[in-house]
Amino acid sequence: MLLKLFCFFLLFSVTALGFSQDRTVKVGASCTEEYFPLLKGKRIAVFSNHTGMVGKEHTVDLLKRSGFNVVAIFSPEHGFRGTADAGEHVAGSIDPKTGIPIRSLYNGKNGKPSAETMRLFDWLVVDIQDVGLRFYTYYISMVKLMDACAEYGKKMLVLDRPNPNGHYVDGPILDMKYKSGVGWLPIPIVHGLTLGELAQMVNGEKWLPNGRNCDLTVIPCKNYTHQTLYRLPISPSPNLPNMKAVYLYPSLCFFEATPVSLGRGTSLPFQIYGHPNMLGYNFSFTPRNIAGAKNPPQLNRKCYGADLSLLKEEEILAKGIDLSYLIEAYRNLHMDDFFFSSFFEKLIGVGYVRKMIASGKSADEIKACWHPDILRFKQQRKPYLLYPE
């Protein structure tokens, strides 16, 4: 009886928020009848990583098994197998299963393939799971590849996947003076678009350099809307191990620009936060050197703070970006100007938020300032949506 009541409550909570859950979502890569004819007889490069799966088979293996000529693999941040640290240099290699060369786009260079590499293929297939945030770098690699394809006259095929944060838009639009490797386009922090939709917007808004236009084809998902709560079948990167981390990421990533640990080097990354000098907390943790977090902030130091892994998912979803965690830590540590690094503006995307926090403004007061950005962006993106809102 208790189990039935819990299930009813969970279903009611999700429905009350306006979301739907559809387990029959079909990713673009599984719609082979739509894109196999386009690739027949062509030389193919693939931009993907460990998330590019069709059932239990990787898209690269599916293409090879189906007789297609895959000549190169491009890998993003965290590498083709998704095991490298955030920001870690990733070298090129050979895929041991297929023998196909892997060319890293996260190798300390400009993220664009060389002219020699671009001459190797006719079509570039994009199949990778994004999480829908401006500072999550997979979309930046895609946009740079769009530019390279436009420059060298190559075709791009995006095999679309759902956005696990695709049910809302939140955060300020990036002030382009803060453009960086964690913010590349004039979009909000949570943009609510799939990679296929975002690629169409890049073309439509003329965001590529020199007005270039990428020859783009998108294979949409089936049975997906922007109110579908899509649960990722595979962790997209080492420090986003579950859906709570994915949902909390838009709120906790700002700690990357502070001395506060957000749980890298623990079993709960992006679900906890703390610092050795934070007072008034009973919860504690100690970051260690582990796979995916080789040198985390506050390494081997006992940190005191909050455990957000205990929150219900519907609580996190209802709040969207929640700056109260950041503000609470700022006030607790009394570090003033030494709390934030210059990286903060690159993450938040505007110059006014740090000043508002320092002047004592609340999370709700700050969110009110970027509300016009949300309304403007929702109108701007409408022509590029592939799925019902």
Under a CB-based contact definition with an 8 Å cutoff, are residues 135 and 347 in contact? yes
Under a CB-based contact definition with an 8 Å cutoff, are residues 349 and 174 in contact? yes
- 260-278, pLDDT tens digit by residue? 999 999 999 999 999 999 9
* Listed range (5-19, 196-210, 300-314) with the worst mean pLDDT: 5-19
CA 39 to CA 152: how far, in whole Å? 18
- 86 pLDDT exceeds 60? no
- 2 pLDDT exceeds 50? no
CA 275 to CA 55: how far, in whole Å? 41
Residue 79: which pLDDT band, with cuts at 50, 70 and 90? low
Q: How many angstroms from the chain centroid is the CA of residue 18?
A: 23
What percentage of residues in the chain have a pLDDT greater than 90? 83
- 108 pLDDT exceeds 80? no
Task: Give the other-Cβ count within 10 Å of 122's Cβ.
Answer: 15
**Beta strands of the chain (E only): which ranges?**
43-48, 53-54, 57-58, 69-75, 93-94, 101-104, 123-127, 155-159, 215-219, 272-275, 283-285, 303-307
Average pLDDT, the chain: 91
State the DSSP code for 255.
G
Residue type, 57: E
| pLDDT of the residue at 110 | 67
Using the Cα atoms of residue 277, residue 281, residue 284 and residue 289 in order, give the sign of their dihedral.
Answer: negative
- 190 pLDDT exceeds 80? yes
CA 140 to CA 155: how far, in whole Å? 18
Report CA-CA distances (Å) from 186 to 134, 198, 380, 389: 9, 12, 11, 21
Span 267-293, mean pLDDT? 96
Which residues, other chains included, contact 204 with Cβ-Cβ below 8 Å and sequence gap of 6+?
383, 384
Which residues, other chains included, contact 42 with Cβ-Cβ below 8 Å and sequence gap of 6+?
68, 69, 121, 122, 123
- 13 pLDDT exceeds 50? no
- 118-164, pLDDT tens digit by residue? 999 999 999 999 999 999 999 999 999 999 999 999 999 999 999 99
Considering the entire predicted model, what is its pTM?
0.90
| pLDDT of the residue at 95 | 85
Report CA Rg, the chain: 21
Which comes out higher in pLDDT, residue 24 or 370? 370
Under a CB-based contact definition with an 8 Å cutoff, are residues 29 and 62 in contact? yes
Smallest CA-to-CA distance from 218 within 132, 155, 143, 160 is with 160
| pLDDT of the residue at 4 | 42
| pLDDT of the residue at 75 | 87
| pLDDT of the residue at 103 | 86
- 220-250, pLDDT tens digit by residue? 999 999 999 999 999 999 899 999 999 999 9
Residue 8: which pLDDT band, with cuts at 50, 70 and 90? very low
Span 312-322, mean pLDDT? 97
CA 124 to CA 202: how far, in whole Å? 17
| pLDDT of the residue at 170 | 98
Q: What token pair was written down for 293? A: 């977090």
Helices within 260-362 (DSSP H only): 313-319, 324-333, 343-348, 352-358
Helix (H, G, I), strand (E, B) or coil at 307: strand
- 7 pLDDT exceeds 60? no
| pLDDT of the residue at 178 | 98
Task: Give the other-Cβ count within 10 Å of 130's Cβ.
Answer: 24
Inter-axis angle of helices 324-333 and 243-252, nearest 10? 60
Q: What token pair was written down for 128? A: 């990778």
CATH H-level superfamily of 28-231? Uncharacterised protein PF07075, DUF1343 (3.40.50.12170)
Q: For the chain, how many residues are written?
A: 389
Which comes out higher in pLDDT, residue 11 or 190? 190
State the DSSP code for 293.
B
State the DSSP code for 41.
T
CATH 3.40.50.12170 placement within the chain: 28-231
| pLDDT of the residue at 19 | 54
- Burial level of 177, CB count in 10 A (0-12/13-18/19+)? exposed
